[in-house]
Amino acid sequence: MEFKVALGPQHPALHEPISLRMTLDGEIIRDADLKLGYNHRGIEKLAESRTYIQNLYLTERICGICSHSHTTCFTQGVEKLMELVPAKRGLYIRTLVCELERVHSHLLWLGVAGQEAGFESFFMYTWRDREVVMDILDTISGNRVHYAMNTFGGVRRDIDELQKKKILDSLDLLKSRTEYYLHIGASEPTFVGRLSGVGMLSKESAIALCAVGPTLRASGVPMDVRKDDPYAVYDEIPFEVCTADSCDVLGRTVVRVKELLESYKIIEFLLKNLPAGPIKVKAPRKVKENEVFSRYEAPRGENVHYIKSNGSDKPERLKVRAPTLANYPATIAMLKNGFIADIPLIFAAIDPCICCAERLVQLDNPRSGESKVLTFSQLRQMANQRYKNVIFKKKESLWPF
Amino acid sequence: MNAETIVEKITSEIKDKIQETALTAPRRINVKVDREQLLAVLQYLKDQFGFTHLATISGVDLGEYFEVVYHMSNAIATVNVRILTPRSDPKIPSTCSVIPGAILYERELQDMFGLVVQNIPDPRPLLLADDWPAGEYPLRKDWHFNRPDEIIPGGK
């Protein structure tokens, strides 16, 4: 006997509308199916009718968390089409915002993971610390979410000595807090017990299903666009690619915490080696006919833009592939043969209420497939029978029944 | 091994299967193939150089033809394998037998360009709404969005 349970597209705990259909055998998920498109806005079509500089601000609005990721991916692609060499100082500031965005995204994810694992204080701690990064981003760009830092040829805002000092001071606090989270992630028994072995994704299937980002790295594949295909100034920065071999949610948590520590090192390096000079160079308006495939390591994984130009000031085609789409086939593989109770953890940001979704009117035996319908009076009778001879105790006192 | 040696090896080993190969930028290789040879070329790239990661599949409307670009990556370079398929007969082979992770990108191509992916394991629509009219493919150049006339309920 198979059950089908639907989750979404509208659900109070879902951050975005997505529909998930699961085929269950008892409590075990045998198959999962995704339906997308509830948030499809037609950005690729819209981009064909806008100029490059307008598209820069359009791509910023693809995502709220990875706003800088999409503009950087688009900007560096268009810069290659324009055969433009961006200003060195501009590239350093651009990379700095990239890493700050990674820090704020990973801290946010850690909090969500803590909440889904039932570790509420972890959620409070990480989100409090995330405010430190948000403040830094606010001082650099003037915005908390859409930074609007990028422009063709460099960045739009410079940073001064005072801001530099403030960022470095804040980093010390973040570093010590993150080391504490690494300690918790590796040694707190309830947290480790809840996360380990959940959402297994073997190395072979992670590669076959083209997973990206921390999901792939937690399955032991050291793929990181910053190392494999260095963009901006990543070829000058010393850093390590963080991986884990446990292939489960615990591994993904550890990878992200380790990446936070690497990001702090990168930010420190960038600030201490910030070259003097202009922050941007002048860019042409029209772009000659060509095409470019731009890759970027967003906090969630590899982000890809494919831009084809046609000689005018508008692109012929802009194809965007955000990291989450690449991870969906892997997510279905992770859900299979897992428990219903693990869906929120595997889907991380999703907190479904399976038990409220379907009311009990029909009792099915999952093994034999037999079913019987109970009326409300029969249910009440059963409940009375069950509680007839039970004595309720609270500590030592009898409850007044 | 670097991108240059990959280009040399591709041109010498599977010369009969490809139309042209070029190194367009650092770590970017362009390969143009016939659509009949696509699966063989992708399998060769995967086995020989470890191009296992399909970043995405891009479709472009060129008027009489559709261009379909498969972006394959490994730790050294990215190969853009492109095929052309005529508008009158927009068929492409499914690559899911070589790369299982291609399924969502192929379903997206079917939705957006009306390409017919042959032997696709799961042909259902992916992104468009359930009541989307048949035969309308929004990313084709001849498709334009016409905003329907606003009707005020109970208005004059």
Confidence of residue B128 (pLDDT cuts 50, 70, 90): confident
**What is the Cα–Cα distance from A221 to A67, expressed in whole angstroms?**
26
Whether the bond between A9 and the residue before it is cis, its omega within 30 degrees of 0, is: yes
> Does residue A171 sit in helix, strand or coil?
helix
Q: What is the dihedral of CA A374, A375, A376, A378, to 10 degrees?
A: -70
How far apart are alpha carbons A173 and B99 in whole angstroms?
A: 44
Whether A50 and A32 share a structural domain: no
Average model confidence (pLDDT) across chain A: 84
Domain boundaries, chain B: 3-118
Q: Which range has the worst mean pLDDT, A9-23, A258-272, B17-31, B73-87?
A: A9-23
Residue B155 has pLDDT above 90, yes or no: no
Give the CATH number of domain B3-118; options: 3.30.420.40, 2.40.110.20, 3.40.630.30, 3.30.460.80.
Answer: 3.30.460.80
Contacts of B69 in chain A (CB under 8 A): 306
| Interval A289-313 mean pLDDT | 92
Tell me: do A208 and A191 sit in the same domain: yes
A32 and A56 housed in the same domain: no
pLDDT at residue B64 greater than cutoff 90: yes
Same domain, A139 and A282: yes
- Into how many domains does chain A fold? 2
Confidence of residue A112 (pLDDT cuts 50, 70, 90): confident
pLDDT of A27 > 90? The answer is no
**Closest-approach residue (CA) in chain B for A204:** B52
Range 72-91 of B in CB contact (< 8 A) with A: 73-76, 78, 80
Separation between Cα atoms, residue A256 and residue A233, nearest integer Å: 22
Are A288 and A383 within one domain? no
Q: Tell me the CATH number at A275.
A: 1.10.645.10
Residues 6+ apart with CB under 8 A from A12: A353
Is residue A290 assigned to a domain?
A: yes
Give the mean pLDDT of A218-244: 92
Same-domain status, A28 and A50: no
Instruction: Report if residue A326 sits inside a domain.
Output: no
Instruction: Quote the pLDDT of residue A362.
Output: 42
Residues A86, A23: one domain?
no
The residue range of the domain holding A14 is 3-36+336-387
- pLDDT at A351 > cutoff 60: no
Residue of B nearest to A291 (CA): B24
Nearest-neighbour CA in chain A from B27: distance (Å): 7
Kindly state whether residues A30 and A49 are assigned to the same domain: no
Give the per-residue pLDDT at B86: 94
Same domain, A30 and A71: no
Q: A36, B126: Cβ pair inside 8 Å?
A: yes
Domain boundary among A270, A292, A321: A321
Question: What average pLDDT does the structure give for chain B?
Answer: 90
pLDDT of the residue at B41: 93
Asked if the structure places residue A397 within a domain, the reply is: no
Are A96 and A188 members of one domain? yes
Specify the pTM: 0.86
pLDDT tens column, A254-270? 888 999 999 999 999 99
Q: What is the pLDDT of residue A64?
A: 82
Whether A25 and A108 map to the same domain: the answer is no
Q: What is the pLDDT of residue A334?
A: 87
In a domain, A354, yes or no: yes
Confidence of residue A370 (pLDDT cuts 50, 70, 90): low
pLDDT band at A358 (very low <50, low <70, confident <90, very high): very low
Residue B85 CA to residue B25 CA, distance in Å, equals 26
From A266, A294, A321, give the residue that closes a domain. Answer: A321
Out of A37, A207, A229, name the one closest to residue B129 (CB). Answer: A37
Query: A273 and A143 share a domain?
Result: yes
Facing A37 at nearest CB: one of B25, B105, B128: B128
Instruction: Render pLDDT for A145-199 as a digit per residue (tens, 0 to 9).
Output: 899 999 999 999 999 999 999 999 999 999 999 999 988 877 888 888 888 888 8
pLDDT at A253: 87
